[in-house]
Amino acid sequence: MSGLHHLSALEQGSLVASGEVTPAALVEHYAAREDRVGAFVTRTTEQALERAERLLAAGRSEGAGPLWGVPTAVKDLNMTAGVRTTFGSKAYEDFVPPFNDGVVDAIEAAGLVSLGKTSTPEFGSPCYTEPEGLPPAVTPWDTTRMAGGSSGGAAAAVSAGLAPVAQGSDGGGSIRIPASCCGLVGLKPSRGRVSGAPMYGEVTGLAVTGPLARTVRDAAAFLDVLAGHGAGDVAWLPEPRTSFLEACDRTPGPLRVARFIEPVIADTDVDPSSVTAWEEATELLRGLGHEVVDVEVPIPREAVATFETCWAVLTALTPAPPGREGDLRPLTRWLSERGHAVSGPEFGWAMGELRRIGARAVEALAPYDAVLTPTLARPPALVGELRDDADPARDFENQKRFTPWTSAWNVSGMPAVSLPLHWTSDGLPVGVMLAGRPAQEELLLGLAAQVEQAHPWRDRTAPGF
């Protein structure tokens, strides 16, 4: 079956469940495909084949989910026992952790098979994926342009047919940015939806793990795998009424949808393609019977400094191994220096203020079921266009201008999804973003699935892939 990679993850899972395809056959199919987009840092084909054979020998359990036996990939920020984990940094090029983190354990418990570690920028900080000494992650729609970041390798893998679904993480847009650049569905769940066990290293509450997929249903099925809480979690969300996959079959509405297009975190020009995508999405939602209302930006521009303080401290909390400090990229060193300059009381105040800002945004948007914005200010940038090693401050500003909306939903903790609803005249994908109320991924996924059904993108694949 030469076209297996054109099938959705759920379709592949159905073939495995019926016995028409084995997990090992899927691994072999993907292993034979060349990585031309800088998706993988480490491919673990031998381990994947061994795991696939063990799964088949043990047999499918009665409660196995629909993605049992399906290949996936793990972002190189996540600990994988016995498999090199570099955190996107040359300073950690030889690091092999002795344990999995909770996300990887959840993926394995659901019977998925990891094909390897996907590329990420250093410590997952930039919105581009150009790790030192490695090929950049690029979008298959134009391999001179970036795949986005920090889950750029994951998005490139799914978009190029190197994995049917992949895990990403998102602290300021790191799932939704590459989803927009690569023509995918990228879902950032609500704060607390996915456990941070066992390290609990993300102290700001900004980042959460989520799926990158070609369809809303695939993303929902993978969220069913990832979601849940550990016994040691400080806070968690209640279980959904049904599976997230089943939520895709519930037609929502009529809903009240807020919309705004004014950039949140930077003064920047919005490309006409992003405006067109947003306007077309508005008319699509209205055609589906939803009310769309213009609203003021719910987060003040003054919040940017508070976010940057927390982001800098978060970067400073991931030091290089002793003696490898010189291997860190200029942007990382610049952010770390900013973080180390923040006193304990200043950081405590910034954390509290960030939560207050988020709470006020949630309160302002409480009358609405969803919020519509563009995902990015423009189509995928050229490789190297945003990066500026000589001037990290300019690099950081370039990133803010490229991603002026995504981090708002990390601050508020609300779920948000980028949908591939538009393409430019020269074939570049342009995402549109929908955010939902906290803990209401079911409603957001139902709306996203309704949008996909009305304006399907499933059959759009990058030329040559």
Do residues 452 and 187 lie in contact, with contact meaning Cβ atoms separated by under 8 Å?
A: no
Condensed to tens digits (0 to 9), the pLDDT of residues 385-433 reads 999 999 999 999 999 999 999 999 999 999 999 999 999 999 999 999 9
Amino acid at 379: P
Peptide bond into 150 cis (omega under 30): yes
DSSP string for 315-331:
HHTSPPPTT-GGGS-HH
- Please tell me which residue in 114, 125, 150, 195 is annotated as part of the active site: 150
Look at strands 256-259 and 370-374 and give their pairing.
Answer: parallel
What is the average pLDDT across 31-58?
Answer: 98
- Please provide residue 172's backbone torsions phi and psi, each rounded to the nearest 5 degrees: -155, 15
Report residue 84 as tokens.
Answer: 């090199």
Rounded to an integer, what distance in angstroms lies between the CA atom of residue 371 and that of residue 159?
Answer: 26
Q: Which residue do the tokens 């060193």 mark?
A: 333
Fold of 4-454: Amidase signature (AS) enzymes (3.90.1300)
For residue 174, indicate whether it is catalytic. Answer: yes
Rounded to an integer, what distance in angstroms lies between the CA atom of residue 333 and that of residue 425?
Answer: 39
- Please tell me which residue in 89, 159, 174, 407 is annotated as part of the active site: 174
Q: Which residue do the tokens 């609500």 mark?
A: 190
Condensed to tens digits (0 to 9), the pLDDT of residues 192-214 reads 999 999 988 888 999 999 999 99
Condensed to tens digits (0 to 9), the pLDDT of residues 124-166 reads 999 999 999 999 999 999 999 999 999 999 999 999 999 999 9
The answer to pTM > 0.95 is: yes
pLDDT given for residue 2 in this prediction: 65
Quickly state the pLDDT bin for 1 (edges 50, 70, 90): low
DSSP string for 262-316:
S-SSS--PPPHHHHHHHHHHHHHHHHTT-EEEE---SS-TTHHHHHHHHHHHHHH
- Please tell me which residue in 75, 90, 117, 400 is annotated as part of the active site: 75
Cα 218 to Cα 13, 166, 238, 373, distances in angstroms: 10, 10, 22, 23
pLDDT given for residue 253 in this prediction: 84
Residue 22 has what DSSP assignment? -
Residue 145 has what DSSP assignment? B
Query: 3-class secondary structure for 100-112?
Result: CCHHHHHHHHCCC
> Which pairs from 347-356 meet CB under 8 Å and 24+ separation?
347/309, 347/310, 347/313, 350/306, 350/309, 350/310, 350/313, 351/203, 351/204, 351/310, 353/306, 354/204, 354/205, 354/303, 354/306, 354/307, 354/310, 354/411, 355/205
Burial class (CB in 10 A: 0-12, 13-18, 19+), 221: buried
Residue 453 has what DSSP assignment? H
Containing H/E element for 455? Answer: none
Q: How much is the mean pLDDT over the chain?
A: 97
- The distance from CA 116 to its chain's CA centroid, rounded to whole angstroms, is 17
Rounded to an integer, what distance in angstroms lies between the CA atom of residue 160 and that of residue 33?
Answer: 9
Condensed to tens digits (0 to 9), the pLDDT of residues 351-395 reads 999 999 999 999 999 999 999 999 999 999 999 999 999 999 999
Quickly state the pLDDT bin for 235 (edges 50, 70, 90): confident
Could you tell me the residue ranges of all domains in the chain?
4-454
For residue 400, indicate whether it is catalytic. Answer: no
For residue 169, indicate whether it is catalytic. Answer: no
Amino acid at 97: P
Report the alpha-carbon angle 95-97-99, nearest 5: 175
